Each structure stands twice: as C-alpha cells, then as structure tokens.
Amino acid sequence: MENILKRVCPLGCDECCEDPFVLDEEWEIISRYIRENQISFDLSLRCPFLLNHKCSIYSVRPIICQLWGQHKKLACKYGYRECVGDKFLEETVKKFINVKTLKEKLRELKWPLQF
C-alpha cells in the first residue's frame, strides 16, 4: 500500500478521472476534508472534484483513483509500475460491490454545506 500512496500523477493529467466508486470509510474522510477545506465541486463534471484538470481532493482521493497505473488491468497512458499484484487488486475490487459513486454520495449531503 505504501507504494500506491507515493505515486504522483503528472500535473494536469485527468485521463482516468471519472465518477469513482467510494467506500463508506473513504467517504467519511472525503466529506470531512471538503467541509474543513471548503472544497467546491461540480456535479456536471466527469468527476465532481476534477476542477481545471486537477483533483481538488488529491490527498484524500479514493483507493480506486490511487490504483490507476498500479496494475496492468488499470494501465495508464503514462505507463504503470506493477506495485500491486492480482490478489491485492481482486480483494480491493470485491469491496466495491454495492457501493455508491462520489456523485451519489454528494447528492445525499445535507444542504447547504456547513463550512
């Protein structure tokens, strides 16, 4: 896991950015982060936190975002380093059954957001 967290995407790259699925544990961290840092988002974008080709929650982005480029099945046009094996990827993917996307979670927030 340590190798995943150290990977840095090239500045301005948003090739893999879509509306990712997010685990409840991740959502707790992300929702606290957006409130504490007054992070804005746009539900009409591919990913609500992809602003000006940059991830506004990069430091707390979901594990699925962190995995891009880490395995041949999640290859990136900038190449990938085999940092995670098949078993790790399979175990991680199993956790995403019946989870919601970031947009779905954002729609469930109580409005207005309290900053």
> Collapsing DSSP states into helix, strand and coil, what is residue 29?
helix
Query: pLDDT, tens digit, for every residue of 5-37?
Result: 455 567 777 877 888 888 888 999 999 999 999
Residue 114 is assigned to a structural domain of this protein: no
Residue 98 is assigned to a structural domain of this protein: yes
Domain containing 48 equals 2-6+19-107
What is the average pLDDT across 39-58? 90
- Indicate the helix (H) or strand (E) that contains 101: strand 100-101
Residue 100 is assigned to a structural domain of this protein: yes
Which pLDDT band, with edges at 50, 70 and 90, does 72 fall under?
Answer: low
Residue 96 is assigned to a structural domain of this protein: yes
Sign of CA dihedral 20, 26, 31, 36: negative
What is the average pLDDT across 95-113? 73
Res 79: pLDDT: 60
Which pLDDT band, with edges at 50, 70 and 90, does 96 fall under?
Answer: low
Residue 11 is assigned to a structural domain of this protein: no
Residue 14 is assigned to a structural domain of this protein: no
Residue 79 is assigned to a structural domain of this protein: yes
CB 2 within 8 A of CB 83: no
Res 5: pLDDT: 43
Res 78: pLDDT: 65
